[in-house]
Amino acid sequence: MRLALAESERAALSGDVPVGAVVLDGAGVPLATGHNERELTGDPTAHAEVLAIRRAAERLGGWRLAECTLVVTLEPCTMCAGAITQSRVARVVYGARDEKAGAAGSLWDVVRDRRLNHRPEVIAGVLEKECAAVLTEFFRER
């Protein structure tokens, strides 16, 4: 999570909401990182999770991330939850809950919906206070 927090700081430098993500392989070795780049690139899909998933798939040479863990500072939204499900990520670890748009247990629970063919393990609240503080400070300054 500390690596994801460092990525979140990179997002804030470009005026993006400070969310960072890391994809780890089955042994816990970082494969790819990402941070929000919507403002930087003008791409509405440039969320930290999506970018990290894309980069991990490219590095592995395939779209199935079945043994991977996604670590992200903020609970994934519905778009990111869909990307997590479609990429077959094994585990999602997130820091701060997102009561307004969270799709891993807060507002929705897309990633664990029994109607879907893949449901990753979800671990919530890792370094939650630190992750929430980064977001709170960003929005306070705006």
Per-residue pLDDT in tens (0 to 9) along the chain, 142 residues: 999 999 999 999 999 999 999 999 999 999 999 999 999 999 999 999 999 999 999 999 999 999 999 999 999 999 999 999 999 999 999 999 999 999 999 999 999 999 999 999 999 999 999 999 999 999 998 8
Q: Which amino acid is at 118?
A: H
Q: Which of 49, 58, 75, 121 is catalytic?
A: 49
Burial of 4 from C-beta contacts in 10 A (0-12 / 13-18 / 19+): buried
Q: What pLDDT score was predicted for residue 10?
A: 96
Q: What pLDDT score was predicted for residue 12?
A: 93
Strand duo 69-74 + 91-96: pairing: parallel
Residue 49 a catalytic site member: yes
69 vs 98: CA distance, rounded Å: 20
76 vs 124: CA distance, rounded Å: 11
Buried-state track 13-33, b at ≥16 Cβ within 10 A, e below 16: eeebbbbbbbbbbeeeeebbb
105 vs 28: CA distance, rounded Å: 24
Residue 130 burial (CB count, 10 A): 15
Q: What pLDDT score was predicted for residue 142?
A: 83
